[in-house]
């Protein structure tokens, strides 16, 4: 089928035939017919990178989202397939040498792990600071960084229908179980939430919770409609499934059960928010994606959207404006534009912060107020979510104007603060306080929290 453009939907009828979910990982790269368009050398490059960074793609993505007449530039191709430039020259060469010289899996793995360690697998204190404790015991599968919102990583939801090459949670997918945040017990989660009455939101995340069968998801969701959890108003589910496997809501065996489950949770009084990841409007315009969105919305959930700004994929204000407009047309609520995090293949995807702000500004001014609910560009950093509000000149000094959208101390939120303008900075750690100050206003307090391993101040 030819790829669809924006606004082409009316010409295409939706076909309800169930499809088989067929997935390919680095071991099956040779089985993907479409890759025969590449040279042998290009396929080897992909293999090299796929031995370090997680790779997984499914047939729907290959056949419906990628324009194979436009590779390697196609945005969705860049989103799921490994590219040589995702590793440093040196790391790439070393991995290539190992792969050319041996088929011993333990040697290959040890080189891969050596490189992975250098790629900042756990940015922003996720493991050291965000995991809450019960006495001396960490509560597995839970992160609690901001007062109102607890993150939960159900153990069966720690994979995705395909992997994004930019994913900041990539380290969870490389098979090291110690590194996974997962939780076997819905009970522990429920106890934790019951004890924390100032939590209003639970964010179920992964991986992708929507890879779970409906009956597994039901165990977690139904445990939340008990009276002792009345303070949990909102259940958010973070997912890329509307892009990578919209059939989940349309014609999987348990699609209808899933929609019924969501209705039931809403009927019990909860707000259910689907936090959908879309990096490009292309992901939203296939007939099955539109049908999935339509069916999901009919249950009463609200679909909010988020994406990082990614070089080679959506580093273009028009792509964002078209995407947000398409989201509004289909009844979705644009929520966050993120800055690509300082981990994994960041070298390939990062753009300067000043560029991120320009893309945001040029995109947002093209859309009506209904799409301007989107905040950003936002950096998820150790102390909190920091938004770049803009570039300004104050008393002759060029500065970035910043604010916390979320902070480990809620009192930090919404106080404008200033960093020296730096045209090359791509991440928060590159920024220095403006006006000759030595520290940002929150810094002493944050350092004290790190020392004491306090996740948040409430």
Quick one: 229 or 379, whose CB is closer to ligand PLP?
A: 379
From CA 78, how far away is CA 241, in angstroms rounded? 18
Residue from the set 151, 186, 379, 431 that interacts with ligand PLP by CB under 6 A: 151
From CA 296, how far away is CA 318, in angstroms rounded? 27
Strand pairing partners for 238?
275
- In this chain, which stretch among 140-148, 243-251, 366-374, 415-423 interacts with ligand PLP, using CB under 6 A? 140-148
Residue from the set 51, 282, 385, 403 that interacts with ligand PLP by CB under 6 A: 385
- Length of the chain equals 458
Residue 157: enclosing H or E segment and its boundaries?
A: none
- In this chain, which stretch among 26-34, 36-44, 143-151, 428-436 interacts with ligand PLP, using CB under 6 A? 143-151
Q: How far is the CB of 168 from ligand PLP (least distance, A)?
A: 10
Q: How far is the CB of 90 from ligand PLP (least distance, A)?
A: 32
Quick one: 143 or 243, whose CB is closer to ligand PLP?
A: 143
279 forms part of the interface with ligand PLP (CB under 6 A): no
Mask for 55-84, x = binds ligand PLP (CB under 6 A): ------------------------------
Structure tokens at 43: 């396929």
- In this chain, which stretch among 5-13, 142-150, 215-223, 444-452 interacts with ligand PLP, using CB under 6 A? 142-150
Q: Which of residues 182-241 bind ligand PLP (CB under 6 A)?
A: 203
Long-range contacts of 386-389 (CB under 8 A, 24+ apart): 386/428, 388/339, 388/353, 388/356, 388/357, 388/360, 389/416
> Which is it for the CA torsion 225, 231, 234, 239, positive or negative?
negative
Quick one: 240 or 385, whose CB is closer to ligand PLP?
A: 385
- In this chain, which stretch among 87-95, 146-154, 208-216, 294-302 interacts with ligand PLP, using CB under 6 A? 146-154
Quick one: 151 or 309, whose CB is closer to ligand PLP?
A: 151
Reduce the DSSP state of residue 423 to 3 states and report it: coil
The distance from CA 46 to its chain's CA centroid, rounded to whole angstroms, is 22
- What is the size of the binding site for ligand PLP (CB under 6 A)? 10
406 forms part of the interface with ligand PLP (CB under 6 A): yes
147 forms part of the interface with ligand PLP (CB under 6 A): no
Q: How far is the CB of 74 from ligand PLP (least distance, A)?
A: 29
* Neighbouring residues of 278: CB distance < 8 A, sequence distance ≥ 6: 242, 243, 284, 305, 307, 323, 327
149 forms part of the interface with ligand PLP (CB under 6 A): yes
Quick one: 127 or 155, whose CB is closer to ligand PLP?
A: 127
Q: How far is the CB of 383 from ligand PLP (least distance, A)?
A: 12
From CA 339, how far away is CA 289, in angstroms rounded? 26
Q: How far is the CB of 367 from ligand PLP (least distance, A)?
A: 20
From CA 296, how far away is CA 303, in angstroms rounded? 8
Quick one: 3 or 454, whose CB is closer to ligand PLP?
A: 454
Q: How far is the CB of 373 from ligand PLP (least distance, A)?
A: 12
Q: How far is the CB of 408 from ligand PLP (least distance, A)?
A: 10
Quick one: 200 or 392, whose CB is closer to ligand PLP?
A: 200
Alpha helix (H) residue ranges in 20-170? 40-50, 59-64, 75-80, 89-101, 105-117
From CA 214, how far away is CA 224, in angstroms rounded? 15
Residue from the set 162, 380, 381, 426 that interacts with ligand PLP by CB under 6 A: 380
Degrees, nearest 5: CA angle 172-273-372: 100
* Neighbouring residues of 227: CB distance < 8 A, sequence distance ≥ 6: none
Residue from the set 55, 146, 181, 412 that interacts with ligand PLP by CB under 6 A: 146
Q: Which of residues 417-456 bind ligand PLP (CB under 6 A)?
A: none
Degrees, nearest 5: CA angle 43-44-47: 90
First to last CA, the chain: 54
Binding residues (CB under 6 A) for ligand PLP: these are 143, 145-146, 149, 151, 203, 380, 385, 405-406
């Amino acid at each position: 089928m030819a790829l669809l453009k924006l606004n082409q939907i009316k010409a295409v009828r939706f076909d309800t035939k169930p499809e088989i979910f067929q997935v390919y990982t680095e071991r099956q790269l040779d089985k993907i017919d479409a890759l025969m368009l590449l040279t042998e050398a290009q396929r080897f490059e992909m293999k090299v990178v796929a031995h370090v960074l997680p790779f997984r793609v499914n047939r729907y993505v290959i056949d419906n989202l990628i324009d194979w007449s436009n590779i390697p530039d196609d945005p969705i191709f860049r989103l799921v397939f490994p590219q040589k430039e995702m590793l440093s020259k040196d790391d790439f060469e070393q991995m290539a040498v190992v792969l050319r010289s041996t088929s011993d899996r333990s040697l290959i793995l040890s080189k891969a792990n050596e490189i992975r360690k250098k790629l900042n697998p756990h940015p922003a204190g996720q493991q050291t600071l965000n995991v809450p404790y019960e006495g001396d015991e960490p509560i597995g599968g839970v992160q609690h960084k901001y007062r109102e919102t607890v993150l939960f990583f159900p153990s069966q939801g720690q994979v995705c229908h395909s992997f994004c090459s930019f994913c900041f949670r990539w380290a969870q997918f490389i098979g090291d179980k110690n590194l996974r945040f997962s939780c076997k017990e819905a009970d522990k989660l429920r106890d934790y939430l019951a004890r924390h009455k100032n939590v209003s939101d639970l964010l179920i995340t992964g991986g992708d919770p929507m890879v779970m069968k409906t009956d597994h998801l039901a165990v977690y969701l139904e445990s939340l409609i008990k009276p002792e959890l009345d303070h949990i108003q909102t259940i958010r589910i973070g997912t890329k499934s509307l892009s990578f496997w919209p059939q989940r809501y349309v014609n999987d065996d348990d699609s209808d059960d899933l929609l019924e489950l969501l209705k039931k949770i809403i009927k019990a009084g909860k707000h259910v928010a689907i936090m959908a990841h879309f990096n490009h409007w292309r992901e939203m315009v296939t007939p099955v994606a539109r049908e999935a969105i339509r069916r999901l919305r009919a249950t009463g959930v609200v679909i909010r959207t988020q994406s990082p700004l990614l070089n080679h994929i959506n580093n273009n204000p028009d792509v964002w404006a078209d995407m947000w407009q398409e989201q509004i047309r289909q009844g979705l609520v644009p929520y966050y534009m993120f800055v690509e995090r300082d981990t994994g293949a960041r070298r390939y995807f990062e753009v300067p912060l000043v560029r991120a702000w320009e893309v945001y500004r040029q995109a947002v001014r093209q859309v009506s107020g209904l799409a301007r609910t989107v905040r950003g560009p936002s950096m998820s950093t150790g102390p909190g979510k920091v938004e770049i509000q803009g570039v300004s000149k104050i008393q002759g000094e060029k500065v970035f104007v910043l604010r916390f959208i979320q902070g480990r101390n809620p009192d930090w939120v919404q106080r404008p603060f200033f960093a020296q303008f730096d045209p090359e900075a791509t991440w928060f750690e590159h920024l220095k306080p403006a006006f000759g100050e030595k520290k940002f206003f929150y810094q002493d307090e944050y350092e004290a929290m790190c020392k004491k391993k306090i996740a948040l101040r409430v």
